[in-house]
Amino acid sequence: MPSAATVLGWRRRDPLFDREMADAMALGRTRRDAFDPAVAKALLDRLSAGEALAAVVRDPAMPSWRRLRLWRATAPGFAEALGLQAEGKAGIRIQRLRERRRAFDQAAADRIIVGLNRGEGLRALLNGDPSLPSAATVARWRRENREFDALVRLILAAWARKRARARLFSEDLQEAVLARIVEGHSFNSLSRLPGMPCRKTLGKWVRTRPDFAREVAQACEDREDIFADQALEIALAGGPDAGRRVGRLRRQAVRLRNRPGRRRGA
């Protein structure tokens, strides 16, 4: 078969060949773009299972963004089903954004401090009381309120020192590890902090303690939400260095994408 450069040369030199080539490519594109009910059903099933549309269309077996727009325009039933999926996901996303934009509440912050002082884990504390903010909101409050952040850090550090003396896995140590992951640490950087287990020990816990592995996976998801929240705040605020700061966050998120316990290539 001739190379792409050769074919391009033929088209430039031969107008008839150029027209026939264009017609053949248009016909092929029309056939490829034809609505495929089986593929459409597979796409909707994946969305129903919780996959993001952006992730689905990256699959070569799924329609591209351009083909998806064409199907929405030419297949009303598919467009309606896709719209219902989008509305559901958008509603969830809007609710999460509203929660993450919750203004600092001193009363709620005081209850968090009291709970931490009692020895409750931050995640358990937040998950156990629907009136308290999410982990992403608490992370934003800590960025915006230095006094609140200093108190949380002081309490977590005190519990970390106590756990380090015991040198045994405990719920308190687990909470300290999860809190650091949410703050943006990897296992490697976490293991270099005073009072924290080494990287090998953390990896062993993920392999041998399913509950800990699940909590680490959730903490990694919370960390990604926080990065998204920070990027949104920077983008909304604007400024000459907004693009650079958002880029730095995205690079950090990419570096942390290989979560603990996840097999490479999985």
* Residue 55, φ and ψ in degrees, nearest 5: -75, -35
- Identify the pLDDT of residue 224: 81
Q: Decide which of 138 and 237 is more confident.
A: 138
pLDDT at residue 150, as a whole number: 93
**Tokens in use for 23?**
């017609």
Exposed, middle or buried, 141 (CB in 10 Å: 0-12/13-18/19+)?
A: buried
Average pLDDT over residues 206-214: 89
Tell me: do 125 and 83 sit in the same domain: no
Instruction: Answer whether residue 23 shows pLDDT above 60.
Output: yes
Domain contains 25? yes
Q: Does residue 46 fall inside a structural domain?
A: yes
Mean pLDDT of 135-156: 90
Residues 155 and 137: their CA atoms lie apart, in Å, by 19
Residue 189 and residue 135 share a domain? yes
Q: How far is CA 257 from CA 103, 233, 250, 260, 262, in A?
A: 29, 21, 10, 9, 10
Please answer whether residues 40 and 79 qualify as being in contact, where contact means their C-beta atoms are separated by less than 8 angstroms.
Answer: no
Q: How many CB atoms lie within 10 A of CB 144?
A: 12
When mean pLDDT is compared across 7-11, 29-33, 93-97, the lowest value belongs to: 93-97
In a domain, 94, yes or no: yes
User: Could you list the residue range(s) of the whole structural domain that residue 162 is in?
Assistant: 105-255
Q: How high is the pLDDT of residue 35? A: 83
Q: Are residues 68 and 154 in the same domain?
A: no
CA distance 42 to 48: 10
Final residue of a structural domain among 71, 99, 127:
99
In a shared domain, residues 111 and 18: no
- 77, part of any domain: yes
CATH number at residue 127: 1.10.10.60
For residue 165, tell me if it sits in a domain.
yes
In three state form, how does the secondary structure of the chain look? CCCHHHHHHHHHHCHHHHHHHHHHHHHHHHHHHCCCHHHHHHHHHHHHCCCCHHHHHCCCCCCCHHHHHHHHHHCHHHHHHHHHHHHHHHHHHHHHHHHHCCCCCHHHHHHHHHHHHCCCCHHHHHHHCCCCCCHHHHHHHHHHCHHHHHHHHHHHHHHHHHHHHHCCCCHHHHHHHHHHHHHCCCHHHHHCCCCCCCHHHHHHHHHHCHHHHHHHHHHHHHHHHHHHHHHHHHHHHCCCCHHHHHHHHHHHHHHCCCCCCCCCCC
Q: Are residues 40 and 138 in the same domain?
A: no
Percent of the chain with pLDDT over 90: 10
Same domain, 70 and 172: no
Last residue of a domain, one of 67, 99, 131: 99
Instruction: Please count the other Cβ atoms lying within 10 Å of the Cβ belonging to residue 36.
Output: 16
Residue 44 or 165, more confident = 44
Of the residues 99, 119, 139, the one at which a domain ends: 99
Q: What is the tens place of the pLDDT at every residue in 84-133?
A: 665 555 444 545 555 556 788 999 999 999 999 988 888 888 888 888 88
111 or 14: whose pLDDT is higher? 111
Structure tokens at 260: 């603990």
Pair of tokens at residue 152: 């949380």
Give how many domains the chain has, as a whole number: 2
Query: Does the pLDDT of residue 156 top 80, yes or no?
Result: yes
Do 173 and 163 form a contact (C-beta atoms < 8 A)? yes
Residue 206, judged by CB atoms within 10 A of its CB (0-12, 13-18, 19+), counts as: buried
| Mean of pLDDT over the chain | 79
Residues 6+ apart with CB under 8 A from 42: 61, 62
